Structure 1
Amino acid sequence: MRRNRTARRGLAAVAVALTLGLSLAACGGDSGDKPSPSASASTGDESAAAAADKAALAKVDVSWSDDKAPVVTLPSKPFSVTTPVIEVREPGKGAELKAGQSITIDFVAVSGADGKVAHDTTSTGPEPGTLGKGSVLDGLIGEKVGVRFVLAGPPQQGGTESTVIAGQIVDAKDAPTPAPGVTKAAGEAVPPVAGLPTVTLDANGKPSVTPVSTPAPTTLVAQPLIKGTGPVVTADQTLVVQYSLFLWDGTPVESSWESGQPATFALNAVIPGWTEGLAGQTVGSQVLLVVPPDKGYGASGQGDSIPPNSTLIFVVDILAAS
């Protein structure tokens, strides 16, 4: 799954995921070298540009408070860097942060154009992330829970200024791991329901769908196809899944099966169709989700492959949850 498919909700997700290439609520598809726990996302000998970006980030002033959002003051406006950079401002005192962990982040994001706040999680709640996915956040591996940091990334999508984020890791936990040999749903098959797309599995378990000609439903459908015998999934958990995504007419969009690796993400950081449709299911299940636009990507769509107001079909195998 490309990182901005099922995951990412709100302005914060856009600022963090697109501008900085972070692995918040990572769902696979990440690329690039993994930085070492240092103040820069680059590895090996730093280029002159990376060194200059580190120096620029060091001049960003952050005033921290235990009960309010940090106040970020830029050294100049507009503010921009050419490479993703991260700097620890205050060490944490909790458990050590490790690769593969799911983390929770409190942060404020400001525009490099004018220094105005673009998003503040003190009003929306902390947001999830993942360490060890090749993002600039990997520079915090080896630090401790409670660490406070500031980071910035280069302009994206034709922009001219960076986004600057001041944040704190408030929690971390080990990501779930499927039981040995578990690569797909396993359990009791559930009889298909009339009026829904038909799902066919190949020898490895990868699904394909045969669409129906009837109008798409206007409410969320979460239909188990295989009923697993594991624990019940809750909305605050991190899941490991295999999934495939199709448009309502059966057009394939993307699939974790193509990479050979399942996807891991926080269930409270995905589109509402996933949060609502998978919470209450059991580990080991395969679930058919039919997601109407208001539970998916709405009138804006997503990139070139999900048009505006699309009804989406997901087939999801829940391999693990914690």
Structure 2
Amino acid sequence: MRRLVAACAAAALLLVGCSTPDPAPPEVVVSGEAGQPPTVTYPTPLRVSEAVHETVWEGTGPELVDGRPVLLDFWLEDASDASLVKESFTSSPTPRMLTEEDLGKDLYATLSGQKVGARLLQISPASDANASSYPTVTVLDVLPVRASGEPVAPREGMPAVTLDDSGAPSIAPTGTEPPSDLVVQPLVRGTGTQVAEGDVITVQYTGFVWSSGEAFDSTWTGGSPTTFALDDVPAWSEALVEQSVGSQVMVVVPPSYALGATQSEELAGQTIVFVIDLLATRGAATAAEPAATDAPEGE
């Protein structure tokens, strides 16, 4: 009997000794300041067997809402040799929707439950379905999709602005004659980078007709911010220079100003009110570089 027990014990020890421990997650170190391209360090080729999601630092802003827009800066490397594949820090951030359908399984899992201001790390294996696929290391900064800062009391005679839960504005017409000059009225004063002449900006905005308060154009309809060169809208080019990222600005544009892409026959002779949330600004020289700005796809 003792020999049988000893044999069983030895067999059990043998099985334990031969079992394969779970592989440790790959060691990837992310450094760098918020808003700046990260430095990512790891041994190459990086061995990745399953997706890894890590928080480099937590966000302090609003929690991301499932099915709603997110705004991302990202840095994506081929983990087989640490080469840069694409990034947005030197161009413009990328808007996406917080859905698995839009982001893919891995990226959706990385972003779910996070807050604005977070820096996140995603490590993904090569796709089994694609022979040319490679493992990837992605760093993501979660940016605001609406203005945030110190409220500023509007001057007398300006339309009152009301925001819905998402941040989309509406205005109440004043019933008075519009100003004859361009008016720039900060409603929320942000603390980010100041807009410079010729910058490429990322914004949420709505345009209203002064006389009726009716909206004629809005990014909030689809929910996602948009990016374009400041010079594309001459009135904005004058109004938004030196305004800070994070600000919400009301711009009242008399009919003597060209509205660029938003100009239409219906608006001819009308005074226009824009309510603009400034979310990012980048110099035109860097934004024009050939860095791809489509956000990385998850698996």
Normalising TM by the smaller chain, what interval?
0.3 to 0.5
> TM (normalized to structure 1)?
0.43
> TM (normalized to structure 2)?
0.46
